[in-house]
Structure 1
Amino acid sequence: MPVMHFSIRWPDQRETRCYSPSLVVQDYLTPGQSYALEEFLQRTREALGIASERVRAKFGFACSQAMDQLAEIERIAGQFADRPDAEVTVVAFE
């Protein structure tokens, strides 16, 4: 299964390198595109959920690393929840 990483930039300009066990993230996020925080979270939840289920279909178990990555994204996003104009930018796919 092809693994990919994607880098994102938070509203405070910090960057995070993220993991996905599947290329499906490319169907939900676009490099160079900025997303409102809640839209970014919705897209990421769906993409990483699908990616984890693809691992389950192939190997018989969900991808805990994808779910850990989602939890980390959710944790960091919580720091910006009180900012209605918060956006996350997808920097690159790796």
Structure 2
Amino acid sequence: MAKTKRFNEENSIEDVLKAFIEVNKLSAGIEKVDVREAWFKLMGTGITNYTDEVLLKNGTLYVRITSSVLREELSYGKDKIVAMLNEELKKDVVTTLVLR
């Protein structure tokens, strides 16, 4: 069982949740969910309708696009998409983007 840190003073819920996430090593899983949500938020319905799978693994975001034409168009702006995602997440989570 993980050790829990007992707070003696009043703390904000944000501090308590950050400590909980750190102690239980949940940040990697939360980043995967956050990246997926950011993809669907930033890309809009035109692209998300053709998005089949979004997977973050070791800093690489794998996105399966069902339209080959759309996949080709998105491949021209990979660096911009990575920058937009990291800006939305407010930290560098995605280093490369692979469109399949």
Q: TM-score, normalised by structure 1?
A: 0.31
Which structure's residues are more often strand, by fraction? 1
Q: TM-score, normalised by structure 2?
A: 0.30
Which structure's residues are more often helix, by fraction? 2
Which structure ranks higher in relative contact order (CA pairs < 8 Å, sequence separation ≥ 6)?
1
